[in-house]
Structure 1
């Protein structure tokens, strides 16, 4: 493994540790936050929407692990799946703790105002999310073609996730959630750079 790859792996491991610490602080009443966010707050909206966003990343990552033998892509997919599954569990746990619904009748990401947001493509629930057709196609590919398509889809997925996480950093009021969102921005931007390198090694690049 190259030093760059080793550094990225260490960073991914650190992100998981930060996430684990975040839920501990939340349960302990970090920030002295006895107040409960409202159902239409940025805190609740981010927890709901990012949970959905993360779930697709987990599914996508497990699909590609079954479609390739490449160890770097499989390791990346596993790390993304584990990290985002853990973070999703935290956010759903917060909604339970706050006694708030996990679904809303409001359009996705309405808590952000969506000013300057990347648009969701046709058939995509939120910016960056793959469509059903794209998920189905990923499940039909193997080897290098699966690797390239996954890296392209996940790059877009991360870009949408980073935009949403930055929205929480700006608008959320619960300290531990803002810190988790900030950690998401840092880790996912790092993974976007790594995926650009992996695509270049395969003679490909992110989709426009």
Structure 2
């Protein structure tokens, strides 16, 4: 029976986000009241940094990200290896794929969306996630040493919080988060429209 090794499985797994996005959604809302304060955002950033600093050297760099990816791959492999024989059979992989498809179907049914639209959105979101993570990494690394210190991490988190805090009252409400999401959607739509309207490059002779 065909097996899938731990090494080859890595290519099929979701990459670890490079940098958390404090202030987006309700993550960090310690008291669960739906509103994120600046203090909560900073505390959440501190917790995230400690978790992401795998080797506890006070910075997040390529070594930490590689360790996080390896940990996620091992966790995923353990979950897929139903019979715990150290490898994943085709039957186990097919079952995993079937389970994922069933969950996507349930989400589409709950959202009342068509199959094509949901799949397209998922793919686009996944593509943006990696690019956005890379951009966040670059912005947080203010001294250009290809590593993020705790101070840099928290500064970047608070900058994102401040950008979400539209009325500058020191807290981000659900309404402000919704407004920010709509603004991003509008900007993305504008970018797509400009790209579609751009003249095609002349064919080289």
TM-score, normalised relative to structure 1: 0.29
Max Rg structure: 2
> Of Structure 1 and Structure 2, which has the larger fraction of its residues in strand?
2
TM-score, normalised relative to structure 2: 0.29
| Higher RCO (CA < 8 A, seq sep 6+) | 2
> Of Structure 1 and Structure 2, which has the larger fraction of its residues in helix?
1
